[in-house]
Amino acid sequence: MGTVSLFKAETRRLAKRRFSRYFVLGAVLVLVAVAIGMFVSNEKPTPAVIAQAQAEADRYFQEQTGYAAEEKKRCESLTPEQMKQQYGEGFTCDQLGQLQREDVQIQDFMPSQFDFRENFPGMVTTLAAILAMVAFVVGASFIGAEWNSGGMMNLLLWRPRRLQVLSTKLAALVVSLIGLTVTLSAVWTGLFWVIATMRGTTAKMTSGAWQSIGLLELRGMVLVLAAGMIGFGLASIGRHTAMALGAAIGVIVVFQFGLAVVLQVARVRFAEAYLLPFWGIAWLEKEWEVLDYNAPCDFSAVNGCEPPSMVITWQMAGIAMLAVVGLVTMAAMWTMRKRDIT
Amino acid sequence: MTAVLEISGLQKTYRSRKGARKALDGFDMVVEAGQVHGFLGPNGSGKTTTLRTLLGLIKPNGGRMTILGREVPQHLPEVAGLVGAIVESPQFFGNFTARETLSLLADAGGVDQRRVDAVLEVVGLRERAAERVKTYSLGMKQRLAVASALLKEPKFLILDEPANGLDPGGIREMRTLMRTLSDSGMTVLLSSHILAEIQLICDSVTIIAAGRRVAAGSVAEVLAEHRSTKVKVRLEPGVDMFGAAQALRAAGAEVTLEQDHFIVGNASRPAQITRLLAGHQIFVSELTPVTVDLESVFLQLTGTAPVEGANRQVDDVAATAGNGWGQ
């Protein structure tokens, strides 16, 4: 009963906060802009569109054939000396390229269409990345503002079980993020299904394809939750929202841009493996192949000289993410338990 | 009478790179049920540390504390529902309204939501309850803090400087509220610097200085403990004041001459003064004991009375009654 009422209060508190509302609203507006952009930049291959593309392809073929004929005529008018000078020894005008009809594909003249099976996974990644950023900032602010305003102390006067209070707050954040991510993912999927229906195709959506999208959305949600928990944990350790935001900026500046330059200069092997975004991509796209251009290449008779590669799998990325989340959460709990509240 | 709060030998040392500082040095306090108990001490004497330690916000280094008979902090969760508290300045999330703030606290504590309007009415914020807390004055925030402490209908109410920022009318309302709560059976621990207020509304007091208790008991007892033996003597106009002073000094009295009267410092038996002066045909027109108030006792016990030409530093506190109560 006690924990349930505290959970209810904390969920209400999170939903009532203007910062949370405005930040989520901002993210939704960005997502709407992305969806509108995709809608506008794609077009369904209607018979009229296909006919127009066919006409353009024909016109192109005619143009190119005309140019080729003119070129052949010009070639045949050259003296052997001029021929040798322009085309080289032993060249004959029959060797000039002649465009074949099958070389001109109608697809090259069609406006792009939104292929749900092909293009929607990229949209899921976009959704996950935006929501992960929202989760980090909202999570950090949720606990950071409480510490900063004295609300946390007030709450502890009512519920003097520190770990229970912090855990319940974290649970309220996680459950709210799950609710937000599931809702937006469902709306996102529906929205792009409509876009694909109106401006592209929903063909080849087998149960396997749906399962793959479902799993991708699930991995996206885990990424969102991890970002939220890390933001929450860092702000709780520092007892201020700025602590989490500072840490995030520090990680981006020092460990990404700075580290990338250092790794490049030091010609470190598999440099990309040290950079977080590639682990994120590996998590969402199931794997990421890191190529090592700083090492001697692997030679094979079939493929020639290829740089050595290392694959970051989604399992490896998942374990790394779990370790970071666990470490930050445990540190937040430990400081909550041990430190005086002054 | 049963004790609602008992503290004995409480110790807290803050450690930093600059060294260790003892905030509480074996502090003792007892608050009896149904009383309004004043908790006094100069800045930095350990009042807030005591309250925070009591409420589980700070871990003590030693000592024993019980609230409503239960040892804390071990059993604090069991009694927290019966203890309402505000510690130091009221702190709330500025973007929430007063009603939202109290409603969230009621949810967190499993308190009936109907209590929210009831306490808003008690502290006089009913009509301003829908406004954001950040628009409130300090006095209004203070009222909201008291409302939050009253929300769970506590048996024991701890208020740290509740009159801070209140206007004179608000201070009087707060005084009446304290008395009403006490009359309803609630025990109130009141920390304040307004000593005249404490003297007016408190049944008993504890005075702390340098982390130690320097006085405790009912207000009357503490005043009596430091009762003055000084007597103010005024003579008939035109009577020789110097001659009278000389006669008293000759009898061993410590006399300090003022403009139109004199003070006898060691007048444990004031009748002696009239008898002695009458013997010299000098007649007294006024003979009044010099009374002490809580403020003078406080300044004396804590050694914080201002000294002309000196700037007292916060840590310049003397626990002058080191051999007094509880030491």
Provide the CATH number for the domain around residue B249.
3.30.70
- Asked, for residue B319, whether it belongs to a domain, the answer is no
B235 and B169 in a common domain: no
Whole-angstrom CA distances from A272 to A227, A264, B116 are: 21, 10, 57
Q: Cβ distance B202 to B219 under 8 Å?
A: yes
Terminal-to-terminal C-alpha distance of chain B: 23
- Asked, for residue B318, whether it belongs to a domain, the answer is no
Residue given tokens 């024991």 in the structure block: B156
- Asked, for residue B136, whether it belongs to a domain, the answer is yes
Q: Cβ distance B262 to B245 under 8 Å?
A: yes
Q: What is the pLDDT of residue A213?
A: 96
Q: By three-state DSSP, how is residue A271 classified?
A: helix
- Asked, for residue B304, whether it belongs to a domain, the answer is no
Domain count, chain B: 2
Name residues 91-110 of chain B within 8 A of A (Cβ): 91-96, 100, 104-105, 107-110
B107 and B39 in a common domain: yes
How many CB atoms neighbour CB B209 within 10 A? 25
- Asked, for residue B299, whether it belongs to a domain, the answer is no
Instruction: Find chain A residues with C-beta within 8 A of B104's C-beta.
Output: 9, 12-13, 16
Q: What is the mean pLDDT of residues B122-136?
A: 91
- Asked, for residue B297, whether it belongs to a domain, the answer is no
B235 and B214 in a common domain: no
B51 and B30 in a common domain: yes
Residue B30 has pLDDT above 70, yes or no: yes
Task: Name the domain boundary from B191, B224, B257.
Answer: B224
Size of interface A-B (CB pairs under 8 A): 76
Task: Answer whether B138 touches A (CB < 8 Å).
Answer: no
Q: What is the pLDDT of residue B321?
A: 43
Q: What is the pLDDT of residues B44-95, one digit of tens each?
A: 888 889 999 999 999 999 999 999 999 999 999 999 989 999 887 667 888 8
Backbone angles phi, psi at B276, to 5 degrees: -65, -45
Q: Provide the b/e sequence for B105-123 (b: ≥16 CB within 10 Å).
A: bbbbbbbeeebbeebbebb
Q: What is the pLDDT of residue A198?
A: 92
ipTM of the complex model? 0.74
B115 and B165 in a common domain: yes
Distance of alpha carbon A110 from alpha carbon A9, whole angstroms: 55
Q: Provide the b/e sequence for A81-104 (b: ≥16 CB within 10 Å).
A: eebeeeeeeeeeeeeeeeeeeeeb
Residue A16 is nearest to which of B52, B77, B100, comparing CB atoms?
A: B100
Residue B142 has pLDDT above 70, yes or no: yes
The stretches in chain A having pLDDT less than 70 are 1-2, 301
Q: What is the pLDDT of residue B280?
A: 87
B247 and B127 in a common domain: no
B274 and B214 in a common domain: no
- Asked, for residue B300, whether it belongs to a domain, the answer is no
Q: What is the pLDDT of residue B327?
A: 28
Distance of alpha carbon A146 from alpha carbon A156, whole angstroms: 11
B102 and B9 in a common domain: yes
Burial status of residue A79 (CB atoms within 10 A of its CB: 0-12, 13-18, 19 or more)? exposed
Residue B325 has pLDDT above 60, yes or no: no
Question: Cβ of B105 and A341 within 8 Å?
Answer: no
Q: What is the pLDDT of residue B61?
A: 93
Distance of alpha carbon A79 from alpha carbon A84, whole angstroms: 9
Q: Cβ distance B141 to B110 under 8 Å?
A: no
How many CB atoms neighbour CB B327 within 10 A? 12
B190 and B278 in a common domain: no
Full domain range(s) for residue B241: 231-289
Name residues 26-55 of chain B within 8 A of A (Cβ): 52, 55
User: What residues have CB less than 8 Å from A239, skipping those under 6 apart?
Assistant: A144, A147, A148, A152
B139 and B71 in a common domain: yes
B63 and B24 in a common domain: yes
Q: Is B36 left (phi over 0), alpha (psi -120 to 50) or beta?
A: beta
Question: Using 50, 70 and 90 to split pLDDT, how confident is the model at B307?
Answer: low
Task: Answer whether B76 touches A (CB < 8 Å).
Answer: yes
Residue A156 is nearest to which of B57, B92, B96, comparing CB atoms?
A: B57
Q: What is the pLDDT of residue B326?
A: 29
Question: Using 50, 70 and 90 to split pLDDT, how confident is the model at B308?
Answer: low
B139 and B40 in a common domain: yes
- DSSP lists the bridge partners of residue B83 as B156
Q: What is the mean pLDDT of residues B125-145?
A: 89
User: Containing H/E element for B122?
Assistant: helix B114-122
- Asked, for residue B305, whether it belongs to a domain, the answer is no
Whole-angstrom CA distances from A308 to A262, A283, A293, B27 are: 21, 21, 8, 71
Question: Cβ of B107 and A6 within 8 Å?
Answer: yes
Distance of alpha carbon B319 from alpha carbon B213, whole angstroms: 8
Distance of alpha carbon B323 from alpha carbon A82, whole angstroms: 122
Q: What is the mean pLDDT of residues B282-303?
A: 78
Task: Name the domain boundary from B196, B224, B252.
Answer: B224
Query: Among candidates A147, A126, A138, which has minimal Cα distance to A216?
Result: A126
Q: What is the mean pLDDT of residues B163-170?
A: 79
Determine the distance in angstroms separating the CA of A248 from the nearest CA of chain B, rounded to an integer. 25
Q: What is the mean pLDDT of residues B247-265?
A: 86
Q: What is the pLDDT of residue B310?
A: 64
Distance of alpha carbon A8 from alpha carbon A6, whole angstroms: 5
Q: What is the pLDDT of residue B76?
A: 92
Provide the CATH number for the domain around residue B94.
3.40.50.300
Task: Answer whether A143 touches B (CB < 8 Å).
Answer: no
